[in-house]
Structure 1
Amino acid sequence: MLRPTLGDFSSIICFKAAIAGMEDALGDKTTAIALTTAGRSRGKNLAQQLGLVNSSISLDDLASKLCHALGKDGTCLCTVEKIVDEGDVIKVYTSETLCSAGEPQGSERKCTFTLGAVWGALEQAFGKRFQGKHTESVLRGGSHDVFEFTEFGKSK
């Protein structure tokens, strides 16, 4: 059913309350797995909607398309600042992530859904399976929330 007045979006406050409730009911690790998996599904669907599946798009263009879809002109999940290839590692630099919103400095909160969404989109765009992790956080002194991806089965 469509929401003619409220549209497709809800608030970060409500989404983070759902995350906190899941953490209380399921525990941190199980919730992180579920949210990352849900994010990957979202990212894969997004890549299909954007026509990025197995594309030969440049990393700059991919970052721009993801920023548009996930940023202020899209779902407001995060801003994708840049994507860089450092040999065996693809790094995605994000800001204003859903996970960091409202968190105090020093918080141990990890980006799970956001990491998953970027992860799923990258897998579809490159036609490869990746292992992903959140390696730098604005909550812990980083300039960005950085996600690192290595091809599944290859070590860093």
Structure 2
Amino acid sequence: MAYQRKELGDFSSVVCFKAVITGVEDTLGPDGAAVVFTRAGKMRGQTVVKDLGLAGSNMPVEDMAAALDKAVGKDGTRLAAIKSVRREGDNIVVDTTDTVCSAGEEEGSDRQCTFTMGAVWGALEGITGQTFLGEQTESVLRGGQVDRFVFSPL
């Protein structure tokens, strides 16, 4: 049985999470940290869909936002609010707000949502059984209304 925090529960602060991010960036550099956090996010996303019983379900894209938001949004772990998931041609586009990665950042920051994008990426791959290439194309830190991730099938 896994150790459970009796007094503090499962959640910690955004401030502490951001300290991990900046510490890893300081150690590995921005590119090395991006690889680490994207991979860690992908693993988390795959775990989320397994825990939800959605692994390999190939659920319709239009149903994914509600399922993922329940797990990682306000009623879940609060990683990010999943606003929409949609197809644009062959790509799957995911719009998020309140991402943990953008929290506390100054307007104009070049911060990318590597962990959050990775978590969504891993979830999509877990649900669909497909492999994707992901990229962040819009950021609330740089004038966007959302943090947008575009996933292209490989």
Q: Which residue of 2 aligns with 1:108?
A: 110
| In structure 2, distance between residues paired with 1:78 and 1:11 | 14
Paired residue type of 1:112: T
Q: Which residue of 1 aligns with 2:68?
A: 66
Q: Which residue of 2 aligns with 1:129?
A: 131
Q: Within 5 A, what are the aligned runs for 1:26-65? A: 26-65=28-67
| In structure 1, distance between residues paired with 2:62 and 2:100 | 22
TM-score (norm 2): 0.96
Q: Within 5 A, what are the aligned runs for 1:59-98? A: 59-98=61-100
* Aligned residue among 139, 142, 150 for 1:140: 142
| In structure 2, distance between residues paired with 1:139 and 1:13 | 17
1:56 to partner: Cα distance: 3.4
1:65-111 Cα offsets, whole Å, 9 max, x none, are: 10011011110000000001011111000000011101111110000
1:55 to partner: Cα distance: 1.3
Paired residue type of 1:45: T
CA RMSD of aligned residues (A): 0.8
Q: Does structure 1 conserve the Cα–Cα contact (< 8 Å) formed by 2:58 and 2:129?
A: no
TM-score (norm 1): 0.95
1:61 to partner: Cα distance: 1.9
Paired residue type of 1:60: E
Which consecutive aligned stretches of 4+ in structure 1 deviate over 3 angstroms post-superposition? none
Identity of aligned residues (%): 51
1:62 to partner: Cα distance: 1.2
Gaps of at least 5 residues in structure 2 are none
1:24 aligns with 2:26: yes
Gaps of at least 5 residues in structure 1 are none
| In structure 2, distance between residues paired with 1:68 and 1:126 | 18
Paired residue type of 2:19: A
